Amino acid sequence: MEKLLTRKEFLKSMGLGASALLCAGAAYGFSDNEKSRGKSVKGHVFKNDAPVNLWKWSIEGFHYATDGTTVQCQVCPNRCILEPGDRSICRSKVNINGKLYSLTYGNPCSVNVDPIEKKPLNHFYPRSMILSIATTGCNFRCLNCQNWEISQRKPEELRHYELFPEQVVREAKKRGTPSIAYTYSEPITYYEYMYDTAKLAREAGLRNVLVSNGYINREPLVRLCKYLDGANVNLKSYDDGIYRRLNGGTLRPVLDTFKTMHEQGVWFEMTTLVVPTYVDKPDMIKRMCGWILKELGPDYPLHLLRFFPRYKLTRLPATPITVLERLREVAVKEGIHYVYLGNVPGHEGTHTYCHNCHRILIERKGYLISQYNLEHGRCKFCKAAIPGRWNL
């Protein structure tokens, strides 16, 4: 890897003032009604927790409102209202002197090269590799979090790399990966870093992939979609009460994210972790599929993942494979063309079958592909067009 600039050197070369030009809405205030509405989550922000020194090497947020003292982050539906010195729910944003700063810009804690199938994305350039980056932070509090070691930590609590957007792009080029994934934790919390990197990546001929919980407001999402090529978004359940209890969020904004991505032409796949006693009811999956078919159509793949005890849900058992199989049958019967089972290597539900002739198009063994029967995005047998992104 090339010698990297220090954070201080980079920000000195860029100038913090330049970042303010990208701050959508930073110059206007918010109403008293918005302030009072935000106080419902105010108890969950981190009061007087802005790190003394780290913010100095940070970048100003892109989507927020300020009255000169108090700020309201407008990236996600939490809409955190922060007094000076406060830190956001996601742990990644702070209010310093009436301005919102991101603490994670150019500051990934994880950089890896993965197979695209790991995201999981089964209809997005199979067999390709992808450069994956993540910073700390998440705007949810999932009891079953699989990556809690980084998603539920503050930036200053973990070791990290200094890797700014242009350096991420150079690293992807050097490693020969045609795409970059914003993944592992919650990329919405490092929106500014992701956006700038995705823009430069697109200019360099690379593709961008978002792996997310989908808890983002429409304006920043539409802005990001200009540079997104693919996404895997978690649809954690189809019940608002379960979203609140299990994940610390709400359902409607996630459904809106799917509709926006569909409208903006971003290819996406949906993932539902089948958590026993929470997300394992056939009736819920049936209602969820009904919404998908009505609003999005039958062609976006749905991944049903096996749950394993993690984080704060170690009391629950792993999802029985028979439950996964039954839910897959429900989704297929309802009319979803591509329904996959995840975390069950070797199961027939991991393969891709033509929705028209039902023959195997892609046979998978874990992340490896042992059989590939597509030609220019069409079934080799019946010539039906298969939805997805196939040819690099």
Per-residue confidence of the chain (392 residues) as pLDDT tens digits?
333 334 444 334 333 333 332 333 333 333 333 333 333 333 389 998 888 776 556 899 999 999 999 999 999 999 999 999 999 999 999 999 999 999 999 999 999 999 999 999 999 999 999 999 999 999 999 999 989 999 999 998 998 889 999 999 999 999 999 999 999 999 999 999 999 999 999 999 999 999 999 999 999 999 999 999 999 999 999 999 999 999 999 999 999 999 999 999 999 999 999 999 999 999 999 999 999 999 999 999 999 999 999 999 999 999 999 999 999 999 999 999 999 999 999 999 999 999 999 999 999 999 999 999 999 999 999 999 999 999 98
Which residue type, as a one-letter code, is found at position 303?
H
Per-residue b or e along 181-191, where b marks 16 or more CB atoms closer than 10 Å to that residue's CB: bbbbbbbbbbb
User: Parallel, antiparallel, or unpaired for β 207-212 and 129-134?
Assistant: unpaired
The tokens describing 135, both together, are: 């910073």
Which of these, 101, 219, 107, lies nearest to 164 by C-alpha position? 107
pLDDT at 8: 41
d(CA 347, CA 379): 21
The tokens describing 381, both together, are: 């047998």
pLDDT at 9: 43
Question: In the chain, how many H helices and how many E strands?
Answer: 11, 19
pLDDT at 28: 32
User: What top-level class would CATH report for the domain 110-330?
Assistant: alpha beta
β-bridge partners, 304: 272, 341
pTM recorded for the entire structure = 0.89
Q: Which helix (H) or strand (E) holds 35?
A: helix 32-42
DSSP characters for 123-152? SBSTT-EEEEEE-S--S---TT-SSHHHHT
Q: CB of 102 within 8 A of CB of 58?
A: yes
Which residue matches tokens 């290819």? 267
Which of these, 120, 8, 103, lies nearest to 46 by C-alpha position? 103
Q: Where are the domains of the chain?
A: 7-102, 110-330
DSSP 8-class letter at 320:
P
Q: CB of 233 within 8 A of CB of 254?
A: yes
d(CA 193, CA 163): 10
